[in-house]
Structure 1
Amino acid sequence: MRAIVYEEFSVLPQLRDIESPSTPTAGVVIDVEATGVCRSDHHAWSGHDSTISLPHVPGHELVGHIASAGPEVTDFRVGQRVTVPFVCGCGRCRWCLSGNAQVCPNQTQPGFTHFGSWADQVVIHNADANLIAVPDDLPASAMVGLGCRFATAFHGLRVRANLNAGETVAVFGCGGVGLSAIMIARAIGAQVVAVDVSDAALERARQHGAAHTVNASGKSPTQLSAEVVAQFSEECPDGVAVSVDALGREDTIAAGIASLAPLGRHVQIGLLSAPPVIDVGRVIGLELSVLGSHGMAAAEYPEMLDLVGDGRLRPQDLVTNVIGLEDAPAAMEMLGSSTGSGMTIIDLSR
Structure 2
Amino acid sequence: MRAVVVSEYGVLPEVREVAEPSVDAGSVVLKVEATGLCRSDWHGWMGHDSDIVLPHVPGHELAGTIAAVGAGVSGWAVGDRVTTPFICACGRCEQCLEGNQQVCPNQLQPGFNYWGSFAEYVAVPYAEVNLVRLPDDMTFATAAGLGCRFATSFRAVHQVGKVTAGERVAVFGCGGVGLSAVMIASALGAEVIAIDTNPDALALARTYGAAHTLQPPADLTEVGRPHVTIDALGSSDIVQQALQALRPRGRHVQIGLLPAGVNLDVGRLIGQELSWLGSHGMPAHAYPEMLNLVASGNLNPADLVTRTITLDETPAALAALTHTTPAGVTVITP
Aligned to 1:328: 314
Displacement, 1:194?
Answer: 1.0
Rounded Cα–Cα distance in structure 1 between residues aligned with 2:75 and 2:247: 45
8 A contact 1:33–1:140 mirrored in 2: yes
Paired residue for 2:256, among 247, 270, 287? Answer: 270
SS at match of 2:312: helix
Displacement, 1:126?
Answer: 0.2
8 A contact 1:110–1:116 mirrored in 2: yes
Aligned length: 334
Rounded Cα–Cα distance in structure 2 between residues aligned with 1:168 and 1:55: 45
Rounded Cα–Cα distance in structure 2 between residues aligned with 1:186 and 1:215: 19
The 3 A distance-change label for structure 1 pair 279 and 132 is same
Identical counterparts, % of pairs: 54
8 A contact 1:141–1:315 mirrored in 2: no
SS at match of 1:118: coil
Displacement, 1:58?
Answer: 1.0
Aligned to 1:78: 78
- RMSD (CA atoms): 1.6
Aligned to 2:232: 246
Q: 1:342 and 2:325 equivalent?
A: no
SS at match of 1:252: helix
8 A contact 1:187–1:307 mirrored in 2: no
Displacement, 1:152?
Answer: 1.6
Q: Which runs of 5+ in 1 are unaligned?
A: 218-223, 233-238
Code of the residue aligned with 1:151 in structure 2: it is: A
The 3 A distance-change label for structure 1 pair 6 and 252 is closer
Q: 1:87 and 2:107 equivalent?
A: no
Displacement, 1:260?
Answer: 2.1
8 A contact 1:28–1:70 mirrored in 2: yes
Aligned to 2:164: 164
Deviation string 1:222-248 (CA, Å, 9 cap, x unpaired) is xx4xx324314xxxxxx3221101222
Displacement, 1:301?
Answer: 1.2
Rounded Cα–Cα distance in structure 2 between residues aligned with 1:124 and 1:160: 26
Q: Which runs of 5+ in 2 are unaligned?
A: none
Aligned to 2:296: 310
The 3 A distance-change label for structure 1 pair 346 and 274 is closer
- Normalising by the residue count of structure 1, what TM-score does the alignment of the two structures yield? 0.91
8 A contact 2:242–2:252 mirrored in 1: yes
Rounded Cα–Cα distance in structure 1 between residues aligned with 2:331 and 2:151: 16
- Normalising by the residue count of structure 2, what TM-score does the alignment of the two structures yield? 0.95
Q: 1:298 and 2:284 equivalent?
A: yes
Q: 1:231 and 2:223 equivalent?
A: yes
Rounded Cα–Cα distance in structure 1 between residues aligned with 2:208 and 2:316: 28
Deviation string 1:72-118 (CA, Å, 9 cap, x unpaired) is 11232222111011111111001111111111111100011111111
8 A contact 2:175–2:329 mirrored in 1: no
Structure 1 residue runs of 4+, over 4 Å off?
none
Rounded Cα–Cα distance in structure 1 between residues aligned with 2:106 and 2:114: 13
Deviation string 1:272-330 (CA, Å, 9 cap, x unpaired) is 23332223233223322110011111122111111222222222222221112222222
Aligned to 2:55: 55
Rounded Cα–Cα distance in structure 1 between residues aligned with 2:197 and 2:311: 33
Displacement, 1:179?
Answer: 1.0
Rounded Cα–Cα distance in structure 1 between residues aligned with 2:67 and 2:12: 30
8 A contact 2:201–2:328 mirrored in 1: no
